[in-house]
Amino acid sequence: MEKKKDFERFSKLMRGMEIAMGKETSRDRVELYFKLLEDMDIETLEKVFIEIIKTEKYPTIPTIGKIRSIIEGEREDILEDEANVAWQQACKLVWHLGADGGQSGDHILDEAVQLAFGGWRQFGKTDKNYETGDRKHFMNCYKGIINREKREALKPADIRKQLKENREKLDK
């Protein structure tokens, strides 16, 4: 978030929540919520606050954890869609990469194929009766890699650099 502008927008969101719920909050509470949600983009927070106001049955200001849970639930849906698209892309690419075992250029896709099937050469060589299970296994691998990448992005730069170097050594 862009600190000053986003704090103003966030304060307005919290004020809207106060009005809708019939509860007042202190400036300290607004500042605490902002500090603990500042890693979220303000547009997402606006969307979530509006959803909470529309659907909340009891007039309470939601906890930071509840707000995060709603956002994470949306992210899980998006991640599921991304994994499905990756599966479709892998199915198309296997005809080009399977024979020589090359790389797609998408390191996450390549890693998911490696993890799920042992590489492009083995992708698609399982029994057709198990395609649904293979797809689910691939998508779980893909989502796990994406989640790992997100966690690593939160780590300090020197640790990320070391992790990248270690991964490159393992790939050799």
Give the pLDDT confidence of 36-59 residue by residue, as tens digits.
998 888 888 998 898 888 888 778
Q: Which amino acid is present at 148?
A: R
Check whether 3 has a pLDDT greater than 80: no
Residue 40 CA, distance from chain mean position: 12
Q: Which two tokens stand for residue 93?
A: 């690419």
Lowest mean pLDDT among 60-69, 119-128, 136-145: 119-128
Q: Is 45 in contact with 67 (CB distance < 8 Å)?
A: yes
Q: In this structure, what is the dihedral angle of CA atoms 59, 67, 28, 54, given to the nearest 10 degrees?
A: -30
Give the pLDDT confidence of 131-143 residue by residue, as tens digits.
889 999 999 999 9
Could you tell me the end-to-end alpha-carbon distance of the chain, in angstroms, rounded to an integer? 38
Check whether 19 has a pLDDT greater than 90: yes
Lowest mean pLDDT among 26-40, 42-56, 66-80, 112-126: 66-80
Check whether 130 has a pLDDT greater than 80: yes
Mean pLDDT computed over every residue of the chain: 84
Q: Domain extents for the chain?
A: 3-62, 74-171
pLDDT at 156: 66
* pLDDT, greater one: 163 or 84: 84
pLDDT at 116: 92
Q: In this structure, what is the dihedral angle of CA atoms 42, 43, 47, 53, given to the nearest 10 degrees?
A: 40
Q: Which two tokens stand for residue 71?
A: 């956002």
- Residues, the chain: 172
Check whether 80 has a pLDDT greater than 60: yes
pLDDT at 28: 95
Q: In this structure, what is the dihedral angle of CA atoms 46, 48, 52, 54, given to the nearest 10 degrees?
A: 70
